[in-house]
Amino acid sequence: MRARGRAGAYRRDTLAARFGDMALPDVLIALTACEPRGDFSLPCDAADPSGASKKEAANMGKMNITIDAKVGGKSFGFAFNWEGDADAIESLMGFVEKMAADWKVTPDALTQSILRDLPMTGLLKDKTEQQFQMAAVLWTVLQLPTQSPDRPGSVYNYAPDEETAAKLIISDDAIRAELRGRWLDKG
């Protein structure tokens, strides 16, 4: 299946040619590891594709993300959970930035285009294409300001050590967010 939106088409063969090893980094492959459960969380009942042990998984940041999109008179919503450490977050951020540079757009323009297409496309059936959708969602949440004077800057600065709950509200004229975070007990 090939979806075409404002951000372009996401084809496995052309992505591998464009991005080489970054085309399918472990962090993106992990996004679809729990498809049978209907969410995208780690760890899953199946083995963790990154090889992380349950102890290592306990030392990762956690994100609970809800999407509520209404664009062009169409609606779409879903929710998923994701866990990642600083390396996974850095890999995801670099991947989106490289993809945007290749298409000669900013990461914001690329991710907003993908998010605004969600009511028209839904979650795509092709796993690689779906991974790009999920990467756009995660990148958007990670770029959000924390909205906390105790933790200035963007969510990605704190995500490896926090449990973050985010709701992205996507409309014709804006992408807004409701955000909550709390430090994880690493003891």
- For residue 20, give Cα distances in angstroms to 13, 50, 98, 99: 10, 19, 11, 11
Question: Is the pLDDT at 94 greater than 70, yes or no?
Answer: yes
Task: Kindly report the average pLDDT of the chain as a whole number.
Answer: 76
For the ranges 76-80, 130-134, 149-153, the lowest mean pLDDT is seen at 149-153
- Gyration radius of the chain's alpha carbons: 16
Of residues 79 and 45, more confidence is placed in 79
Question: Is the pLDDT at 120 greater than 90, yes or no?
Answer: yes
Question: Which pLDDT value is given to residue 148?
Answer: 80
| Cα gap 185→112, rounded to integer Å | 33
Summarize pLDDT for 95-110 with one digit per residue, the tens.
999 999 999 999 999 9
Average pLDDT for 65-82: 94
Of residues 84 and 55, more confidence is placed in 84
Question: Which pLDDT value is given to residue 186?
Answer: 54
Confidence class of residue 147 from pLDDT cuts 50, 70 and 90? Answer: confident
| Cα gap 141→187, rounded to integer Å | 26
Of residues 43 and 163, more confidence is placed in 163
